Structure 1
Amino acid sequence: MLTRCVGCGSVQWQCLENLTSGKSKGCQRCSKPRQIPRWLDRRLTAAKQRCENPNEKQYARYGGRGIEFRFASVLEAGLWILENVENVRRDLELDRIDTNGHYEPGNLRFVEGVVNRANRRISVIPFFYPDEWPYARSVVTRKLSDGMSREEIIADAQKAVDEKRKNWRLIEARLEFMTYEMRAPDTVLPYRGA
């Protein structure tokens, strides 16, 4: 279909189906330039979908838990981020500072992937240093999830050596070379459930 733009007067061919279904974004010659980068628009659109669309694959982890997208629109969120958030770069990830908080002003930041993954609900040990634990990471994670403290895990390891349980020699070697002061003691988080 041949159309004439009411803004700039240019004549161009448009698909009638795109015009009637709303797929057409209007005249490309006189339309406004993008106010936020396309990559940021896509990330915020995905975040909004996770919070508001029950058919979205990740909805249960976001909207299903009561997490809301508290901006009027994706554009409003993007403009707020560009104006108020430091370090807005495409190679970084959008992160909610409070994992149980909403997508809202004051709770958003851009961080590296490793920091974002450490800020997940399921992270029992965000940063695991083998020289700080008497067992492998999977065993430590299981024991922490069962509610044991670091001191109880160390005592359990000593008991395993005394009783000569399975792999007791490896556990004994780890206990001998283990550092008893943790690099970041606040990173051990209690966690139960999925």
Structure 2
Amino acid sequence: MPRKIKVNKGDRYGRWTIIKEVEKLVGSRRFLCKCDCGTVKEVSLTHMRNGRSKSCGCYKKKKVTKHGEGHSRLYQIWCDIKQRCLNESCDSYKNYGDRGITFCKEWSEFKNFRKWALSNGYKNNLTIERIDVNSNYSPSNCKWITKSEQSMNRRNSIEITYKNKTKPLKEWVAILPDELNLNYNTIFSRLDRGWSIEKAFETPLKGCSQ
């Protein structure tokens, strides 16, 4: 059983200062806190610890006013990166933060991320991609690519478990019997249409409906 995190009156999380612990809400520990601007509010401990809640909202308003891009696409990309790396409630967290993927300290401020993006080819039709999918978001490990390139990269990294062994799909294709006459695109298309792995791998191309 995880040890209960010790939180004391006066502890700070972002712009919040702990006043006292209050009744839990849906299993989450909550605290009455005072923001630096004077606002008093109940806040989830989880949200304070993972950075989802840094203030009553005054801090976010201050940042938006400062760089003037609170509604820009680039700012949303930066927010999305932080969410999937830090927010346990985010649907993508299991593929990022839960795997230890985070972002460099330099990018904790949007202005630094923006400077890197604009100096490295950012355009509104491009998406951010990590060069090493097992490493963090940082200037040395990120680049801007088209959505079609990103889609192809994801296709190439698909892993399939077949007969109790897990390999990238492209490796499975290379070792399937030649008489099946199967290629990567055929199998990918079958799986995308809902075929079982066994059927997709074992049905010969000749004479089957594609």
- What TM-score does the superposition give when structure 2 sets the normalisation length? 0.47
Q: Which structure has the higher relative contact order (CA within 8 Å, separation 6+)?
A: 1
| Partners of 1:68 and 1:103 within 8 A in 2 | yes
Q: Within 1, Cα distance between the matches of 2:141 and 2:203?
A: 47
| Partners of 1:36 and 1:78 within 8 A in 2 | no
Q: Which runs of 5+ in 1 are unaligned?
A: 1-17, 126-141, 159-164, 172-194
Out of 48, 56, 59, which is 2:82 matched to? 48
Letter in 2 for 1:78: R
1:120 is aligned to 2:143? no
CA distance 1:78–1:33, change in 2 (3 Å): closer
Alignment-derived partner of residue 81 in structure 1: 117
Q: Within 2, Cα distance between the matches of 1:50 and 1:82?
A: 22
CA distance 1:44–1:119, change in 2 (3 Å): same
Q: Within 1, Cα distance between the matches of 2:203 and 2:129?
A: 42
| Partners of 1:80 and 1:105 within 8 A in 2 | yes
Out of 152, 155, 176, which is 2:178 matched to? 155
1:92 is aligned to 2:126? yes
Letter in 2 for 1:155: D
Cα shift readout 1:69-126 (whole Å, capped 9, x = no counterpart): 112323322222223x12x11111111122222110121211111111222387349x
- What TM-score does the superposition give when structure 1 sets the normalisation length? 0.51
Q: Within 2, Cα distance between the matches of 1:168 and 1:63?
A: 41
Q: Within 2, Cα distance between the matches of 1:124 and 1:105?
A: 25
- Over the matched positions of the two proteins, sequence identity in percent amounts to 25
| Partners of 1:99 and 1:119 within 8 A in 2 | no
Q: Which runs of 5+ in 2 are unaligned?
A: 1-36, 40-55, 160-165, 182-201
Letter in 1 for 2:102: E
Query: How many residues get paired?
Result: 127
Cα shift readout 1:135-166 (whole Å, capped 9, x = no counterpart): xxxxxxx996496352x3243527xxxxxx97
SS in 2 for 1:89: coil
Greater percentage in strand: 2
1:59 is aligned to 2:83? no
Q: Within 2, Cα distance between the matches of 1:169 and 1:121?
A: 24
- For the pair shown, the structure with the greater C-alpha radius of gyration is 1
Q: Within 2, Cα distance between the matches of 1:156 and 1:104?
A: 46
SS in 1 for 2:116: helix
